[in-house]
């Protein structure tokens, strides 16, 4: 999403993204490449294309990240790309300060019901796409349990997508935009806090407990 104003090229919002569910070995290399291309390299390509104009007009660059950049609950491939976007933005934000260009990151919580970025999962479909090696390690019952778990998370997603849009608008128009806008429920923010500031062993314990429920 690009925005031209009377003062020239002002804003770029890198919003494109795809998501999927699956443990690390369940997904083929082609899927990893596709996700990196859309979620990470797509945003980088767009940013590089418009960077000369953004520097010229001292504009804004907004990236759509996620609280999933801090942890993962079955969608590590999505988490991986969002964590990479965060680091790209951290470097870009510092580099753009001398040009008067501001870089902002939006970190939504679970808005799956608003965006429909991730459809509900079919355990049968997941199983049918597993390699023979993975089928020898896992069984259909485990895949069904994981699918049910992830579907329950999707069903809890907020339908108030306007909250994320409001953060994007503020990032583009505020005289003093935030570097990061975390738009999430209190329990989601608490989980981010644990993952960001507690020892890894604590984070792993919390997430393992959540995955076992």
The helix/strand/coil state of 106 is strand
How far is CA 132 from each of CA 33, 157, 195, 212, rounded to the nearest angstrom? 21, 33, 34, 25
Give the DSSP letter of residue 181. Answer: E
Residue 139 CB partners (closer than 8 Å, separation 6+) = none
Instruction: Single out the residue of 126, 22, 120, 28 nearest to residue 79, CA to CA.
Output: 22
Helix (H) or strand (E) holding 64: strand 60-64
Give the DSSP letter of residue 120. Answer: P
Alpha-carbon gap, residue 154 to 111, rounded angstroms: 8
Give the ranges where the chain is alpha helix by DSSP (H): 29-35, 42-57, 76-96, 112-115, 123-129, 132-137, 140-155, 162-173, 186-197, 200-212
Return the active site residues: 78
């Amino acid at each position: 999403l690009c925005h031209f104003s009377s003062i020239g090229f002002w804003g770029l919002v890198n919003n494109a993204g795809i998501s999927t569910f699956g443990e690390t070995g369940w997904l083929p290399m082609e899927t990893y490449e596709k996700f990196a291309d859309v979620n990470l390299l797509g945003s980088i390509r767009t940013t590089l294309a418009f960077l000369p104009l953004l520097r010229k007009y001292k504009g804004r660059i907004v990236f759509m990240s996620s609280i999933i950049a801090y942890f993962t609950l079955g969608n590590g491939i999505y988490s991986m790309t969002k964590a990479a976007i965060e680091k790209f933005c951290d470097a870009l934000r510092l580099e753009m300060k001398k040009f008067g260009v501001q870089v902002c990151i939006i970190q939504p919580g679970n808005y799956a019901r608003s965006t429909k970025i991730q459809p509900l999962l079919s355990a049968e479909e997941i199983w049918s796409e597993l390699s023979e090696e993975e089928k020898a390690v896992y069984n259909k019952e485990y895949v069904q349990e994981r699918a049910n778990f992830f579907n329950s998370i999707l069903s809890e997603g907020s339908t108030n997508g306007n909250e994320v849009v409001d953060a994007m608008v503020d990032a583009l128009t505020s005289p003093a935009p935030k570097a990061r806008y975390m738009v999430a429920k209190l329990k989601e923010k608490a989980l981010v806090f644990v993952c960001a500031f507690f020892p890894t062993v604590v984070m792993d314990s919390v997430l393992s407990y959540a995955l076992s429920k």
